[in-house]
Homo-oligomer: A and B are copies of this chain.
Amino acid sequence: MSNPSTTRPGPGPGRRPAPDRGRTLLGPALRLIHTGRTPTRSALTTALEVTRATAGAVAGELAALGLVTVDEHPIGTGRGRPSHRLGLAPDGPVVLAAQVHFDMLSVALAGLGGELGEAVYLPLPAATDPEPILATIAAAGAALVRAQRRRCLGAALALPNPVREPDGTAPAALHFGWPGGTPVVQLFADAIAAQDLGPRGRVPLPTAVANDANLAALAEHRHGAGRDARHLLLVTSGHRGVGGALVVDGRLHTGSAGLALEVGHLTVDPLGRPCPCGNRGCLNVETDPEALFSAAGRAVDPSRPLLDQARELARDPSARAAVDTVVDRLALGLAGLANILNPDRIVLSGLHQDLLAAAPTRLPELVARHSLWGRCDQVPVVAAEVCHAGLVGAAEFAWEPYLRDPQAVAG
């Protein structure tokens, strides 16, 4: 042999089936079927811009991998030979999707297609250290997989705080007190590995952890209000503070260290409320649930979740003035983001979704007025559509390697 060190050890002769180039059509084809855009092989032909022969072969291969089914009965749409609908195999493999919420945990199985199985909700364990929480999630997930006797291909977890790349730590403290720097990616991988869910026993499942806003954006982009948007900005207000996420050309923009779209400290009211960051009038403190209550001069019922109360208040006509105040601040923040990111569409979730419902014309108009983009085009500000977007997004994240290379399902 001449010198094997520089000759790449390919898996046999022929065209390279390398990480990203071999079988270039299989991934795009599965992605199209997954997002419900190509009901038939004929639609695949046009969407992928290939010949019918190739589209047929690709569909056949996806079916052979157990991912796609070809409907028995044809669907008649006018003239010509009728097509057979391409569907996702109902008994195909699944992934584990999990989410850490403010006050609970949720876990579900998900096949392709963006539909979740029934979600399991768990209270936070008494010890809110990382290990017991992640162990609880992994155990619940393993129970689901075993009970439903499905093949599990991966797991992903949505966390309510940023996840730093590439080391996989949570840089800021979670609200229930995990220290900054907690290696959440590794801990979750360990928790899943301990459940021994690998397809052939000892092979550890691929796992991933990401911020919940990012995953929600992914879910909305693939299956919700962000479909067909090239650049999608999602802004959400949860229990406390504001989260953002950006999808660029179908892929999450998480920045160089996973810390992009930390939009909470945009200044939206120079004379506003003080923010822990030291400034005044940050988006975080001006458009979160507390800000709405403060603007309305109402008291919070400490016995009920703050976010739920705030969403009710946003729908309360008697709080109109307060809603408008907060909407104005939000619009300024969104306009600032629009000037920087110029997305196709802005999707609002959480409390912001209710603020949009309460001010369906005022909010987009203000965004348009305060952004260069808005002075050129209509600015589509829309409400989120996906239920359990965090879980659905986690499922997307876990499926991602297989959407890139469906043949990995066979490995």
Contact = CB atoms under 8 A, between A and B. Distances in A.
Interface of A: 6-8, 16, 18, 21, 24, 42, 45-46, 49-52, 162, 164, 171-172, 230-231, 244, 248, 253-263, 265-267, 270-271, 277, 280-281, 336-337, 339-344, 370-373, 375-377
Contacts of A259: 339, 342, 372-373, 376
Contacts of A244: 340
B8 A171 contact: no
A260 to B, nearest CB: 4
- 4 smallest CB-CB distances across A and B, nearest first, come from A255-B342, A270-B270, A260-B342, A256-B344
A376 B320 CA distance: 41
A164 B375 CA distance: 12
A376 B180 CA distance: 10
Given A340-B261, A340-B337, A342-B258, A6 B373 contact: no
Nearest to A80: B3
A6 B171 contact: no
Given A6-B45, A262-B372, 4 more contacts: A6-B52, A171-B375, A230-B256, A262-B339
A332 B372 CA distance: 21
Contacts of A50: 8, 16
Contact of A171 (B16, B21, B265, B372): B372
B21 A256 contact: no
Contacts of A266: 266, 336, 339-340
A340 B260 contact: yes
A247 B281 CA distance: 30
Contacts of A337: 340
Contact of A162 (B42, B343, B372): B372
Contacts of A253: 248
Nearest to A8: B49
A317 B24 CA distance: 59
Contacts of A254: 342
A47 to B, nearest CB: 12
Contacts of A342: 254-262
A286 B373 CA distance: 22
Contacts of A6: 42, 45-46, 52
Contacts of A377: 257
A339 B171 contact: no
A48 to B, nearest CB: 10
Nearest to A255: B342
Contacts of A373: 255-257, 259, 262
A258 to B, nearest CB: 7
A280 B49 CA distance: 51
A372 B265 CA distance: 10
B267 A51 contact: no
Instruction: Kindly name the residue among A45, A261, A262 whose own CB sees the greatest number of chain B CB atoms within 10 A.
Output: A262
A230 B52 CA distance: 38
Contacts of A261: 340, 342
A364 to B, nearest CB: 15
B171 A262 contact: no
B262 A7 contact: no
Contacts of A255: 231, 341-343, 373
A254 to B, nearest CB: 7
Nearest to A270: B270
Contacts of A45: 6
A45 B3 CA distance: 13
Nearest to A277: B370
Nearest to A172: B372
Contact of A376 (B8, B257, B344): B257
Nearest to A165: B342
6 contacts: A171-B376, A254-B342, A257-B342, A262-B342, A266-B340, A270-B270
